[in-house]
Amino acid sequence: MKLFTGILDLIFPVVCVNCGNELVTHETIICTFCAVKLPVTNFHNDPVNDLTKALWGRVNIDFASAYLYFKKAGIAQKLLHQLKYKGRKDVGINMGNRFANHLKENSFISSIDYLIPVPLHKSKAKARGFNQSELICQGMSEVLSTPILKNISRISFTDTQTRKRRFDRWLNVSEKFVLSEPEILEGKRVLLVDDVFTTGATIEACCQALKNVNGISIGVATLAIATN
């Protein structure tokens, strides 16, 4: 099997998503050189970080963090492009692994009961073939040994969020999410997981779906956060 894999690697070499150089043994998705250049935020060490501040006055949360800064033509954009539009599911799982290893010593993260991926509408998930947030959750779950709960659903199709103004984005997702079996989450600590934070409209709408659960504690984690 190893010989066959080696032959395939010679014919179709596995390359770094960012720089395009061939990956060597023990490297996955990105090479070591690019891995050390990942634009890590370290938000989990600062309770008053940019993501937390972006949600102030909008939702009641107990934790918020993003793994990477998202900039045009940057590493995070390349990773998310491969995940969402090139079908590279392995990117989502691998980055979820990295994100979870980054977060796992945080006191909130170490005591969460469930990971909850932000849902896609069924028609979009069917067209894409997967929900990228679920793949990130899968990678995080492998590291944290925390179960994934998919009990938030999007109840109507919404247009793409790209190029919409903040208020238009909020209107586009407002009241589009519903929570099933809320009793499961009573008194629980949950982490809502998404791929990228822009205006926060989607995260806000999901938190609204969760907010009336008795005793719930909500955290938010996004793989990336957009910067100007």
Percent of the chain at pLDDT exceeding 70: 86
**pTM of the full predicted structure?**
0.87
Helix, strand, or coil (residue 220):
strand
Those residues with Cβ within 8 angstroms of residue 212's Cβ, 6 or more apart along the chain or in another chain: 182
The label of the residue with tokens 């984690």 reads 221
* Phi, psi torsion values for 209, nearest 5 degrees: -70, -25
pLDDT band at 10 (very low <50, low <70, confident <90, very high): very low
Rounded average pLDDT over 16-26 = 94
Q: Considering only 71-75, 166-170, 176-180, 218-222, which range has the smallest mean pLDDT?
A: 166-170
* Phi, psi torsion values for 192, nearest 5 degrees: -85, 125
DSSP bridge pairs for 190? 114, 218
- pLDDT tens for 88-98 read 999 999 999 99
pLDDT at 63: 97
- Do 154 and 121 contact (CB within 8 A), yes or no? yes
- pLDDT tens for 90-120 read 999 999 999 999 999 999 999 999 999 999 8
Residue 162 has pLDDT above 60, yes or no: no
- Output the CATH code of domain 39-226: 3.40.50.2020
DSSP bridge pairs for 153? 178
Beta strands in the chain (DSSP E): 63-70, 114-117, 152-154, 177-179, 189-197, 217-226
- Do 95 and 136 contact (CB within 8 A), yes or no? yes
The label of the residue with tokens 């949360």 reads 61
pLDDT at 7: 43
Rounded average pLDDT over 137-143 = 98
Q: Which two tokens stand for residue 145?
A: 């040994």
- Do 121 and 156 contact (CB within 8 A), yes or no? yes
Cite the residue boundaries of each domain of the chain with CATH code 3.40.50.2020. Answer: 39-226
- pLDDT tens for 68-77 read 999 999 999 9
pLDDT at 159: 55
